[in-house]
Copies of this chain bind each other. A is one copy, B any other.
Amino acid sequence: MKFDATDTLCVNTIRTLSIDMVGQADSGHPGLPLGATPLAYAVWAGQLKFYPSDPAWFDRDRFVLSAGHGSSMLYSMLHLYGYGLKLEDLKKFRQLDSLTPGHPEYGHTAGVENTTGPLGQGFANAVGMALAEKLTAEKLNTPEFRLVDHFTYVLVGDGDLMEGLSYEAASLAGTMKLGKLICLYDSNGITIEGSTSLAFTEDVKKRFLAQDWQVLEVEDGNNLDELDSAIRKAKRETESPSIIIAKTHIGWASPKQDKNSVHGEPLKPDEILATKKALGWPSAEPFFVPEEAKARFAEQAAAGENARKRWLKLWKKYSEALPGKAELAKAMLGREIPEGLFNPDISFFDKPMATREASGKVINLMADALPGLTGGSADLGPSTKTDFIKDPSRTLHFGIREHAMGAIINGLALHGGLIPFGATFLVFSDYMRPALRLAAVMQTPSVFVFTHDSIGVGEDGPTHQPVEHLMSLRLIPGLLVLRPADAWETIYAWETAVRSKRPACLALSRQKLPLMTQYREKIAAGLKRGAYLLRGPSTVPSVELIASGSEVSLLFEAAALLEKDNIAARIISVPSFELFREQDKAYRNSVFLPNLPKLAVEAGRGIGWSELVGTEVEVLGVESFGKSAPAGQVYAALGLTAETIAARAKKMVK
């Protein structure tokens, strides 16, 4: 493709709209739009398969702005290409409840593929999207029909590439041969503190070559033709992902070009005018869009319609020729979850079992009903029990890269077609916390499996024993945290997780736990409500014993001890704070009876229970780091035993 003067006008339309937005808001980042717009435009105008009227079209190319602070550029493009953003919306940039918030927000603004801003995340999401494309294509394409066949583009800045996350994700992308992933690197040599050389002198080309990428270089990041030919070359390379290193100038054409201050400080009115003058811009009026540019953008957007029509035809032929595969495709792309995932047969579990073991069974039992179910672990498969037995190709190997795993899971979920999960030890959820937070911000149906969920880890000691993690995950708004108490609860926890439209974490035990088989029906009805009465005494109760996960079995033992003293205890299992909070008051009051002494037990920091259960609750938790010793001894040393629970409850009853 040969670009012309109108294309340059289009590029400058995006630039000037962007700096006008930032100027109007008196807040935002003018540097990236001025410097990197040609990179984005070369993709969209020259290559991107997109159709603004149907932003969710499955086989569209994905475009990710990892450097999310450049949001004004993306919004300008979404406006110009007709994604529904009006000029009025651009004028409300960064204002309360506008469609143009400070950083791009997934689910909020049509055409935004993911929420970006925290650096490195968008890049790793893109790796996940490209992986999803590859995996769904492998499942659904045939030599005749390439039903799934699109590229993933991601625009990154220096910040993205300095974050460890990006190395992890790039390393994996190289190993997985994600040839349809194309990264555009806005290499402007400037960060907030000054020249990148202050802290970043590595050779990015050599770095990506070491990670099995194709590396292409564009000397002049303003040259659309040069960019276009690099993108074409990247598309032709099908084995390796490609990165295009484009030398750019932050704040291009502005009086602050190549200065670090232009990154995040709005240009002043006179600087905006000076920039427009330097660009040869035809108007001093803010938010001016030349008709010629408008027409060119419309033309490009219209071209997407043809691509989509071709795909719809392809889909029709595919459905006719391969009805079975078409059913599969519909189930996968529509994220269909059948009524009965599997029949929880009484024979599944017959002896005490760690909930991680039960989870492994459940994953494999669900695998048939959920063809999109795909996942793996950060090099802990044998411990997290997350391997697919029948079809090992569904097991993903993330390596020892929890953070990339988290962000890639988010990318898989964003892309669609799969029900993705990633697993590691609960203590290492810390390594992926920024990705967990973004899953919650975006409300992607990402599933995270966290085993070894307490001091029950035992000998590995404090570095491997989570203490603060359960409650600190519950602190993330919008994240569903499920901690099943036995193998049966694990079934329903998994079912809740895969049916959830929001991200879910499963916290699972390393150690064996007794089966609560006799309470199966209560579990089936109760788990999804977050907390439920597991066992009420036959007599009038005088105390409530409350726990989550592995500590529930301690309650049964404690209740037996209390019974000897003629103290009758209700036993309440709390697999999920979030689900319980969503229940109506009548239900909540039926679980936690007012005016009854309450003791909550959890192998983790104790704060947070009173907000859930009521202020009268006392908590037996773990307030310090753990210890290295066999698990039972650690529990005893930290005061979590049936005896201590019973003694404490007895004191409360008086």
Q: What is the interface of chain A, defined by CB distance below 8 A to chain B?
A: 25, 27-28, 68, 94-98, 101-103, 105, 115-119, 158-159, 162-168, 171-172, 174-175, 191-193, 196, 198-207, 209-212, 260, 377, 379-383, 397-401, 403-404, 427-428, 430-431, 433-434, 437-438, 440-441, 458-464, 467-468, 471-472, 475-478, 605-608, 610-611, 615-616, 623-625, 627-630, 633-634, 637
Q: Are A200 and B96 in contact, CB atoms less than 8 angstroms apart?
A: no
Q: Are B460 and A103 in contact, CB atoms less than 8 angstroms apart?
A: yes
Known: A96-B634, A102-B628, A464-B103. A163 touches B401 (CB 8 A): yes
Q: Are B379 and A191 in contact, CB atoms less than 8 angstroms apart?
A: yes
- Nearest B residue (CB) for A621: B611
> How many angstroms from the CA of A207 to the CA of B209 in the assembled complex?
8
Q: Are A629 and B96 in contact, CB atoms less than 8 angstroms apart?
A: yes
Q: Are A379 and B159 in contact, CB atoms less than 8 angstroms apart?
A: yes
Known: A468-B476, A627-B97. A206 touches B210 (CB 8 A): yes
Minimal beta-carbon separation of A319 from chain B (angstroms): 36
| Cβ-defined partner of A381 (8 Å) among B117, B192, B380, B608 | B192
Q: Are A212 and B206 in contact, CB atoms less than 8 angstroms apart?
A: no
> How many angstroms from the CA of A101 to the CA of B629 in the assembled complex?
8
| Cβ-defined partner of A27 (8 Å) among B200, B381, B458 | B458
Minimal beta-carbon separation of A613 from chain B (angstroms): 11
Apart from A95-B630, A467-B477, what 8 extra A-B contacts exist at CB < 8 Å? Answer: A95-B628, A96-B628, A97-B629, A102-B461, A103-B460, A167-B168, A203-B210, A478-B624
Known: A164-B401, A458-B27, A605-B475. A202 touches B212 (CB 8 A): yes
| Cβ-defined partner of A212 (8 Å) among B68, B201, B428, B468 | B201
* Residue among A158, A162, A206 with the highest chain B CB neighbour number at 10 A: A162
Minimal beta-carbon separation of A380 from chain B (angstroms): 6
Q: How many copies does the complex hold?
A: 2
Q: Are A94 and B433 in contact, CB atoms less than 8 angstroms apart?
A: no
- Nearest B residue (CB) for A198: B397
User: Cβ of A204: which chain B residues have Cβ within 8 Å of it?
Assistant: 210
> How many angstroms from the CA of A610 to the CA of B608 in the assembled complex?
9
| Cβ-defined partner of A207 (8 Å) among B164, B207, B403, B438 | B207
Q: Are B200 and A171 in contact, CB atoms less than 8 angstroms apart?
A: yes
User: Cβ of A634: which chain B residues have Cβ within 8 Å of it?
Assistant: 96
- Nearest B residue (CB) for A401: B162
Minimal beta-carbon separation of A166 from chain B (angstroms): 8
| Cβ-defined partner of A202 (8 Å) among B165, B174, B633 | B174
User: Cβ of A201: which chain B residues have Cβ within 8 Å of it?
Assistant: 174-175, 212
Minimal beta-carbon separation of A180 from chain B (angstroms): 18
| Cβ-defined partner of A101 (8 Å) among B605, B607, B627 | B627
User: Cβ of A430: which chain B residues have Cβ within 8 Å of it?
Assistant: 433-434, 437
Q: Are B117 and A460 in contact, CB atoms less than 8 angstroms apart?
A: yes
> How many angstroms from the CA of A438 to the CA of B468 in the assembled complex?
13
Q: Are A103 and B461 in contact, CB atoms less than 8 angstroms apart?
A: yes
> How many angstroms from the CA of A383 to the CA of B69 in the assembled complex?
15
User: Cβ of A428: which chain B residues have Cβ within 8 Å of it?
Assistant: 118, 434
Minimal beta-carbon separation of A630 from chain B (angstroms): 8
> How many angstroms from the CA of A360 to the CA of B395 in the assembled complex?
50
Q: Are B192 and A202 in contact, CB atoms less than 8 angstroms apart?
A: no
Minimal beta-carbon separation of A98 from chain B (angstroms): 8
Minimal beta-carbon separation of A414 from chain B (angstroms): 15
> How many angstroms from the CA of A212 to the CA of B608 in the assembled complex?
48
| Cβ-defined partner of A380 (8 Å) among B28, B192, B210 | B192
Q: Are A168 and B174 in contact, CB atoms less than 8 angstroms apart?
A: no
Q: Are A441 and B458 in contact, CB atoms less than 8 angstroms apart?
A: no
Minimal beta-carbon separation of A150 from chain B (angstroms): 25
> How many angstroms from the CA of A398 to the CA of B196 in the assembled complex?
11
Known: A174-B202, A398-B199, A463-B118. A193 touches B441 (CB 8 A): no
Q: List 23 A-B contacts (CB under 8 A).
A: A94-B461, A94-B628, A94-B630, A97-B629, A101-B627, A102-B459, A102-B463, A118-B427, A119-B400, A167-B168, A171-B200, A174-B201, A174-B202, A191-B379, A191-B400, A192-B380, A192-B383, A203-B212, A204-B210, A437-B468, A472-B472, A477-B625, A478-B624
Q: Are A463 and B117 in contact, CB atoms less than 8 angstroms apart?
A: yes
Q: Are B399 and A191 in contact, CB atoms less than 8 angstroms apart?
A: yes
User: Cβ of A438: which chain B residues have Cβ within 8 Å of it?
Assistant: 463
User: Cβ of A198: which chain B residues have Cβ within 8 Å of it?
Assistant: 397, 399
User: Cβ of A380: which chain B residues have Cβ within 8 Å of it?
Assistant: 192-193
Q: Are A163 and B164 in contact, CB atoms less than 8 angstroms apart?
A: yes
> How many angstroms from the CA of A624 to the CA of B475 in the assembled complex?
10
| Cβ-defined partner of A96 (8 Å) among B96, B441, B633 | B633
Q: Are B607 and A611 in contact, CB atoms less than 8 angstroms apart?
A: yes
> How many angstroms from the CA of A260 to the CA of B175 in the assembled complex?
20
Minimal beta-carbon separation of A591 from chain B (angstroms): 19
> How many angstroms from the CA of A237 to the CA of B34 in the assembled complex?
43
* Residue among A172, A400, A468 with the highest chain B CB neighbour number at 10 A: A400
| Cβ-defined partner of A606 (8 Å) among B199, B611, B616, B623 | B611
User: Cβ of A610: which chain B residues have Cβ within 8 Å of it?
Assistant: 610-611, 615
* Residue among A117, A212, A624 with the highest chain B CB neighbour number at 10 A: A117
Q: Are A441 and B383 in contact, CB atoms less than 8 angstroms apart?
A: no
- Nearest B residue (CB) for A436: B430
Q: Are A193 and B101 in contact, CB atoms less than 8 angstroms apart?
A: no
- Nearest B residue (CB) for A195: B397
> How many angstroms from the CA of A478 to the CA of B467 in the assembled complex?
12
Q: Are A96 and B637 in contact, CB atoms less than 8 angstroms apart?
A: yes
| Cβ-defined partner of A608 (8 Å) among B167, B210, B607 | B607
